[in-house]
Amino acid sequence: MSLSSLTKPWAATSYGFLDASAKRELRRKMLKAIAVPGCQMPYASREVPMARGWGTGGLQVTLTLVNPTSVVKVIDQGADDGVNAASIRRFISRVSGAGETWDTLAASIVQSRHRVPEEVMREDQILVLQVPNPEPLRGVEPNISIARQMHADADYGKLWLTLYEQIVRKGRIMQGAGYPSMVNGRHVMTPSPIPRWDVPKLNMAKHLTFLSAGREKRLFAVPPFTRVEPLVFSDRPYQVEHHADLTCRRSGVSGYFMNELPIDGGGSAFEVSDSNLGIKAIQQAEGAAVEIGKTWYRNGEFSA
């Protein structure tokens, strides 16, 4: 027996970049997050070769989940070829040997910034959402220690009050993306700045969702088949963006979340935000054998 037979050959970095101690800590926190849905778990959040605020939290979770048989899809604002999404996807596959894809149906891990894909995700898929600010109470309580106490007490009165004030002042709840939502009837979480359109997709979903904020060093999870209920008053129903009637000018699909593009001379054109859904629709129209999975919204109506 020699030292070399007991050890692995030297490598500049560990498999999946993060070393074993970092991954062990993350796995423990991820399991804890699953055990207490929606509750923010602090973790060390190691530095990664990417700037904080650029998906380092999502990246650490993905790097902990990934293995050589994984197939990874990374999107930013719904697009696979956004510059940062491309950079993250390239990094993940380089350090892990995982496959890359743009197709939601082919992915085993979907890391995303600000969108949930339009095609329904399955039990064998994991969604990793990048989170800039994990604290839904930040707007009403910037001090993290006090906010933590409020979560412990399930004291969400200030948050409800903010929503109520918006109705009084503006006639409706003005929250844009990142709509605060009650998870499993206990913890209010921010679903990350996904549009209101996407929040219902997390409710009683078949897939596991991790939400991870690298800069703020917090991660939380929505396990499969867990309730995610946006905070609404009983007489004021939850409103998603009015995108049901919009049509994508490139792919022709309609009834999905759209990007608005200002056009010369006034008015706007629209393009489907889930860019690969648009691409697949174009390919299908051109006669290619491409599969478009079942979507969460059908004819602009949510129907999971």
Touching another protein, residues 225-264 (CB under 8 A):
239, 241-243, 250-251, 257-260
Give the Cα separation of 226 and 238 in Å (integer).
18
* Burial of residue 264, with CB atoms counted within 10 A of its CB: 0-12 exposed, 13-18 middle, 19 or more buried: exposed
Residue 184 contacts another protein per CB under 8 A: no
Specify the residue, 13 or 303, whose C-beta has the smaller distance to another protein.
Answer: 13
| Minimum CB–partner distance for residue 38 and another protein (Å) | 18
Site size toward another protein (CB under 8 A) is 75
| Minimum CB–partner distance for residue 61 and another protein (Å) | 15
Question: Of 37-45, 156-164, 226-234, 289-297, which segment contacts another protein by CB under 8 A?
Answer: 37-45
Residue 194's Cβ-side half-sphere holds a number of Cα atoms within 13 Å equal to: 31
Specify the residue, 227 or 250, whose C-beta has the smaller distance to another protein.
Answer: 250
Answer for which of 26, 45, 59, 200 binds another protein (CB under 8 A) is 45
Dihedral sign computed on CA atoms, order 105, 75, 173, 133:
positive
Q: Angle at the Cα of 207 (from 206 to 213), degrees rounded to 5?
A: 145
Distances (CA, A) of 92 to 21, 258, 293: 19, 28, 25
Question: Of 31-39, 187-195, 200-208, 291-299, which segment contacts another protein by CB under 8 A?
Answer: 187-195
Answer for which of 114, 151, 201, 207 binds another protein (CB under 8 A) is 114
**x/- binding map, residues 51-90, to another protein, per CB under 8 A?**
xxxx-x-------------------xxxx-xxxxxxx--x
Question: Of 31-39, 45-53, 154-162, 226-234, which segment contacts another protein by CB under 8 A?
Answer: 45-53
- Closest by CA to 177, choosing from 95, 256, 91, 115, is 115
Give Cβ neighbours of residue 172 (< 8 Å, ≥ 6 apart): 166, 236, 239
- Closest by CA to 62, choosing from 111, 96, 99, 112, is 111
Answer for which of 106, 154, 174, 204 binds another protein (CB under 8 A) is 174
Residue 166's Cβ-side half-sphere holds a number of Cα atoms within 13 Å equal to: 13
Q: How many helices and strands (H and E) does the chain possess?
A: 7, 14
Residues 126-165 that bind another protein (CB under 8 A): 132, 142-146
**x/- binding map, residues 265-304, to another protein, per CB under 8 A?**
--------x-x--xx--xx---------------------
Specify the residue, 124 or 245, whose C-beta has the smaller distance to another protein.
Answer: 245
